[in-house]
């Protein structure tokens, strides 16, 4: 039966396909079903015969295609007559089908197992297994399923255990978890966590590829992902002595990146609610660094042996109901490591020595930027946007910065109430002294608290023999002797270096780990220092509460603290 479908139509369809021969036959069959409506209504035998005709057509096309060296222009010219021929379909019976009483017949592929067994009973009883397998192989080849025919032959015509081995291999393949490639962001995180250089990462990637494990992206892709971690270039000012990003641009970029990392976000839950990013910020300086052979033209006092850093750390994103302060969702996102440098965002880096004037100027600069902040607009996709407000608290500071901000001239005076060393032992006077409420916002540094509590007890232990803070004359000799004795015992019993200066003048050996070891062994610490064990234990409780990361109840009795 002729139709309007020509060899050229099938030829164009073949050129669009990039799969192998067997799948091309199936694709041509689907193409014919779309172009010729009445084919769908024909019997299963008619459609099977159509697939055979398409398979024959595919073989004829391949022979002609190879003769033309797989060149389209030559093929179009040489076989133009063949391309213009109409594709011949099988004859379709035009007589009306006879009506049958009872249930209509179901296609074999759609029948249940019981019906299939019944229909194939005669076929199975009148032929041997070898005959049925061979016939199935030929039928599969004729319909274009060459791979299935080869697999059937391999499973039935080789060793008796071949079918079992094929089944085991297939089952094992199904249970094998697919190898997951590193995304650009994951590979960048790996480089940062492992502190890999470019050459180290490239070597690892090439070694993995040689072992057929192409799981690492190319390094240029990682550079692209790395560039996405930076704010816009026009918002960053770099000179030979400093590098500074505007606080607004840095917050906008930080919020956008945080929301990209959160899964299953719905813009609907943010509607008519207030979203706030809570961050902490601060500044600190360091000196005694390595100097390099370079000069600075801008500022004569600048030196790369000094560095002064201003930075902030995002803590959590909270959602409030409307304009009120009723918390609807306390943690849309929460920083899992608030003290980690991985989450620290540098605002201003300077080659300047830390001074009171520099601290005050920098605090004033950042405070002005905070007052002028506007909400960050985050694009969630699909034209959904979220407005995020910002709240920053100045808590990442040490005692020197606190004194500079509060204009406290003496490091021995409390910057909160102004009490000096002579006032510290009079608890009644301390409780009645007025405080500066603005200094309470500086918060408590858990790291500095451990060190300062530890140093307080150590310095008290040095002076237990004469019970005065200032040591003069014989008291000074007694202090030196006691200090040496305590240092030696801690070195022998706990392996700790106490109150010893570091090389280069960068502080002492009193660090957070030393303080924690001191409070973790109250019996040993008490016996060495002579300080009451109960005081050491009480100090440890206070420090653990400060470092817990939990909300602290405000109704603790003073007797539990002092």
Instruction: Quick: pLDDT tens for 146-170.
Output: 888 888 888 888 888 888 888 888 8
Task: Taking residues 261-266, report their average pLDDT.
Answer: 77
> Which three-class secondary structure state does DSSP give residue 310?
strand
| More confident site: 293 or 192 | 192
**Which region among 29-33, 38-42, 525-529 has the lowest average model confidence (pLDDT)?**
38-42
316 close to 393: Cβ distance less than 8 angstroms:
no
Q: How far apart are the first and last CA of the chain?
A: 104
pLDDT digits (tens, 9 = 90+) for 206-230: 999 999 899 999 999 999 999 999 9
The winner for highest mean pLDDT among 9-18, 34-43, 388-397 is 388-397
Question: Strand 274-286 relative to strand 242-245: parallel, antiparallel, unpaired?
Answer: unpaired
**Rounded distance between C-alpha atoms, residue 153 and residue 147, angstroms:** 10
Task: Taking residues 310-328, report their average pLDDT.
Answer: 82
Is 2 a residue whose pLDDT tops 60?
no
502 close to 508: Cβ distance less than 8 angstroms:
yes
| More confident site: 346 or 166 | 346
- Element (DSSP H or E) covering residue 333: strand 327-334
**Rounded distance between C-alpha atoms, residue 133 and residue 141, angstroms:** 12
Model pLDDT, residue 22: 58
- Residue 232 has which token pair? 């816009």
Q: Please, which pLDDT band fits residue 84 given cuts at 50, 70 and 90?
A: confident
Say what percent of the chain tops pLDDT 70.
90
| More confident site: 264 or 56 | 56
Model pLDDT, residue 96: 43
**Rounded distance between C-alpha atoms, residue 550 and residue 56, angstroms:** 76
Model pLDDT, residue 211: 92
Q: How many CA atoms lie within 13 A of 139 on its CB side?
A: 9
DSSP 66-103: HHTTT-HHHHHHHTHHHHHSBPPPPP---SPPPP-SSS
Q: Please, which pLDDT band fits residue 97 given cuts at 50, 70 and 90?
A: very low
In terms of Cβ atoms closer than 10 Å to its own Cβ (0-12, 13-18, 19+), residue 240 is middle
Dihedral, CA of residue 318, residue 322, residue 325 and residue 328, to nearest 10: -50
Model pLDDT, residue 329: 66
Average pLDDT, the chain: 84
Tally of CB atoms within 10 A around 18: 7
Report DSSP state, residue 1: -
> Which three-class secondary structure state does DSSP give residue 251?
helix
> Which three-class secondary structure state does DSSP give residue 441?
helix
Q: How many CA atoms lie within 13 A of 293 on its CB side?
A: 0
Task: Taking residues 406-424, report their average pLDDT.
Answer: 86
- Element (DSSP H or E) covering residue 274: strand 274-286
Task: Taking residues 4-19, report their average pLDDT.
Answer: 77
Say what percent of the chain tops pLDDT 90.
37
- Residue 381 has which token pair? 């996709």
Model pLDDT, residue 205: 96
Distances (CA, A) of 365 to 206, 513, 540: 48, 35, 38
Closest CA to 386 of 279, 257, 275, 258: 275
Tally of CB atoms within 10 A around 154: 14
> Which three-class secondary structure state does DSSP give residue 281?
strand
- Which runs of consecutive H residues, i.e. helices, occur in 267-318? none
Contacts of 359 (CB under 8 A, 6+ apart): 283, 400, 401, 404, 405
Tell me which residue has tokens 């959590």: 316
pLDDT digits (tens, 9 = 90+) for 45-83: 777 788 888 888 888 888 888 888 888 888 888 888 888
**Which region among 100-109, 281-290, 452-461, 524-533 has the lowest average model confidence (pLDDT)?**
100-109
> Which three-class secondary structure state does DSSP give residue 54?
helix
**Rounded distance between C-alpha atoms, residue 281 and residue 313, angstroms:** 6
Is 338 a residue whose pLDDT tops 80?
yes
Residue spans per domain, the chain? 7-92, 121-175, 184-227, 236-405, 444-560
285 close to 236: Cβ distance less than 8 angstroms:
no
Report DSSP state, residue 95: S
Is 123 a residue whose pLDDT tops 60?
yes
Model pLDDT, residue 528: 94
């Amino acid at each position: 039966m002729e139709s309007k479908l020509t060899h050229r139509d099938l030829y164009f369809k073949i050129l669009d396909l990039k799969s192998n021969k067997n799948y091309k036959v199936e694709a041509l069959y689907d193409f014919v079903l779309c172009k010729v409506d009445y084919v769908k209504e024909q019997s299963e035998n008619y459609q099977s015969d159509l697939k055979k005709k398409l398979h024959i057509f595919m073989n004829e096309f391949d022979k002609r295609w190879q003769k033309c060296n797989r060149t389209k222009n030559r093929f179009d010219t040489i076989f133009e007559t063949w391309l213009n021929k109409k594709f011949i379909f099988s004859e379709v019976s035009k007589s009306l089908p006879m009506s049958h009483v009872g249930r209509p017949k179901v296609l074999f592929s759609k029948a249940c197992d019981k019906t299939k067994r019944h229909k194939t009973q005669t076929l199975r009883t009148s032929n041997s297994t070898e005959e049925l397998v061979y016939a199935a192989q030929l039928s599969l080849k004729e319909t274009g399923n060459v791979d299935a025919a080869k697999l059937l032959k391999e499973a039935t015509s080789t060793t008796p255990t071949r079918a079992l081995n094929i089944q085991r291999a297939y089952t094992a393949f199904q249970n094998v978890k697919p190898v997951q490639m590193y995304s650009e962001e994951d590979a960048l995180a790996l480089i940062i966590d492992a502190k890999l250089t470019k050459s180290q990462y490239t070597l690892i990637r090439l070694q993995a590829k040689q072992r057929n494990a192409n799981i690492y992206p190319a390094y240029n892709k990682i550079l692209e992902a790395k560039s996405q971690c930076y704010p816009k270039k026009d918002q960053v000012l770099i000179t030979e002595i400093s590098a500074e990003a505007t606080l607004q641009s840095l917050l906008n970029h930080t919020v956008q990146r945080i929301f990209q990392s959160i899964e299953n976000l719905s813009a609907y839950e943010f509607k008519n609610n207030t979203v706030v990013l809570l961050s902490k910020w601060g500044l600190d300086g360091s000196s005694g660094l390595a100097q390099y052979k370079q000069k600075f033209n801008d500022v004569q006092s600048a030196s790369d042996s000094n560095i002064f850093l201003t930075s902030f750390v995002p803590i959590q994103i909270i959602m409030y109901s409307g304009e009120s302060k009723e918390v609807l969702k306390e943690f849309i996102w929460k920083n899992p490591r608030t003290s980690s440098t991985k989450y620290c965002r540098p605002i201003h880096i300077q080659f300047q020595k830390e001074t009171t004037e520099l601290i005050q100027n920098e605090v004033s600069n950042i405070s002005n930027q905070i007052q002028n902040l506007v909400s960050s607009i985050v694009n969630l996709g699909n034209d959904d946007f979220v407005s995020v407000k910002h709240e920053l608290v100045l808590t990442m500071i040490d005692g020197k910065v606190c004194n500079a901000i509060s204009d406290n001239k003496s490091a021995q005076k409390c910057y909160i109430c102004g009490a000096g060393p002579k006032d510290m032992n009079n608890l009644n006077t301390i409780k009645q002294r007025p405080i500066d409420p603005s200094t309470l916002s500086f918060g408590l540094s858990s790291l500095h608290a451990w060190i300062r509590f530890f140093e307080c007890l150590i310095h008290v232990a040095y002076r237990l023999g004469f019970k005065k803070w200032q040591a003069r004359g014989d008291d000074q000799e007694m202090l030196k002797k006691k200090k040496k004795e305590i240092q030696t015992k801690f070195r022998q019993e706990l392996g700790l270096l106490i109150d010893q200066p570091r090389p280069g003048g960068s502080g002492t050996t009193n660090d957070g780990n030393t303080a924690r070891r001191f409070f973790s062994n109250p019996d040993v610490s008490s016996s060495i220092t002579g300080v009451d064990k109960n005081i050491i234990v009480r100090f440890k409780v206070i420090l653990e509460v400060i470092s817990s990361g939990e909300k602290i109840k405000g109704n603790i009795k003073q007797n539990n603290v002092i």
